Amino acid sequence: AKTEEKAYKSINRLKTAIGVDYPVLLAQFGTSNKSQAQKKLPMLNHVISYPTTIFIDKMGKVRKIHTGFNGPATGEKHEVFKEEFDAFVKAMVKE
């Protein structure tokens, strides 16, 4: 089982690998109880599911909140998810 420390190390490795120079929040770890995430993200009226991705633009404005994940086992839904996710991120980076 992963520890929270290992999770942060994985996050930091990914940030380094893809050149992320801004903070990444791990709002919850090791439980399905959403209260921990709710405490770290009080501006959300509730946390629906995991993962929850909050897209914040260069001006600090929340542009989109995406909940859940369509993994490879969902077939076409996964491909559509990847295309839409990538297109949105690329558009934000260009702004």
Residue from 58, 50, 54, 46 nearest 24 by CA: 54
Please tell me the pTM assigned to this model: 0.69
- Domain residue spans in the chain? 4-69
**For residue 1, pLDDT beyond 60:** no
What pLDDT, in 10s, does the model give residues 51-88? 888 898 889 899 999 888 888 999 999 999 999 999 99
CA distances from 6 to 12, 25, 48 (A): 10, 14, 25
The token pair at 66 is 């995406």
To the nearest whole number, what is the mean pLDDT of the chain?
86
pLDDT digits (tens, 9 = 90+) for 17-57: 888 888 888 888 877 778 888 888 888 887 788 788 889 88
Asked if residue 54 lies in contact with residue 65, where contact means CB atoms within 8 angstroms, the answer is yes
